Amino acid sequence: MNALLQLDLPSRERQPWGLHKVRAGRVLFAQGEPFHGLYAVRSGTLKSVFALADGREQVCAFPMAGDVIGFDGVVDGVHGTTMTALEDTHVAPLAWRSCAQLAACDANPLQHLMELMARDIQRGHTFHALLGRANAQERLAMFLLDQSRRWHAQGCSPCDFQLRMSRAEIGSFLCMSMETVSRTFSGMQRKGWLRVDNRRVILSDMVGFTRRFGALP
């Protein structure tokens, strides 16, 4: 059975081929390592970190169940980011060689793969716009709405969920300091827009929150 056929996600009922477990804090693949294939995330959460030449680091994404990761390695056969698990995580490897071979038999998974990559590109555009136009409050709000939507898609409540990442990681991702993230959380709570207790977030007024910030990218 071809690995790529598993790309018609989500299908967690079917026992996936070659399931792989990554414990919290462990690295799935590291920047600079040779690229062998993609991974479909089955459960858990990871962070994708891009290390700059001068040692500084940038969180690029927080992939979770349903996402396919590793595209940045396609360019020159080397992983462009380091992928670390934020909690215990299960991934299904998709060998890259089989992707090219697959092209000969069926074009639909190919189309799917392209759509996934295109989605990553589009996400980059909206994020570019977000960083360009939005202030700290809008950035954090968009992040929370995104988290809410994604946890909702996992079957959790969209109004009450647990963040898997630290303030510093959120800050790196949103391009603002850890302190500003914390202050913005506090400010939103003071205004009654949400309740926050450490990493637990409760969007008590989901409708109002969405109305206030939903118009952004």
Partner DNA sequence: CGCTCCATTGAATCCGATCAAAGAGTGTGG
Partner DNA sequence: CCACACTCTTTGATCGGATTCAATGGAGCG
Q: Which residues face 162 on adjacent strands?
A: 200
Pick one of DNA, a copy of itself, none as the site partner of residue 44 (Cβ within 5 to 8 A by kind).
Answer: none
Is the CB of 71 or the CB of 185 nearer to DNA? 185
**Contact call for residue 19 and a copy of itself (CB under 8 A):** no
Pick one of DNA, a copy of itself, none as the site partner of residue 210 (Cβ within 5 to 8 A by kind).
Answer: none
In the region spanning residues 28 to 67, those forming contacts with a copy of itself, defined by CB under 8 A, are: 50, 52-54, 56, 58, 60
DSSP state of 90: E
Smallest gap from Cβ 180 to DNA, in A, equals 3
Single out the residue of 9, 1, 5 nearest to residue 116, CA to CA: 9
Residues 194-213, one symbol each (x = binds a copy of itself by CB under 8 A, - = not), give --------------------
Rounded to 5 degrees, φ, ψ at 34 are -65, 140
Pick one of DNA, a copy of itself, none as the site partner of residue 50 (Cβ within 5 to 8 A by kind).
Answer: a copy of itself
**Contact call for residue 178 and a copy of itself (CB under 8 A):** no
Contact status, residue 41 vs residue 66, Cβ threshold 8 Å: yes
Single out the residue of 30, 49, 29 nearest to residue 39, CA to CA: 29
Q: Pseudo-torsion of CA 50, 53, 56, 60, nearest 10°?
A: -20
Listing from the earlier edge strand, what are the strands of the sheet with 20-22?
A: 20-22, 89-95, 37-43, 68-69
Is the CB of 158 or the CB of 217 nearer to a copy of itself? 217
- Residues in the site for DNA, rule: CB under 7 A? 135-137, 166-168, 175-183, 185-186, 196, 198-199
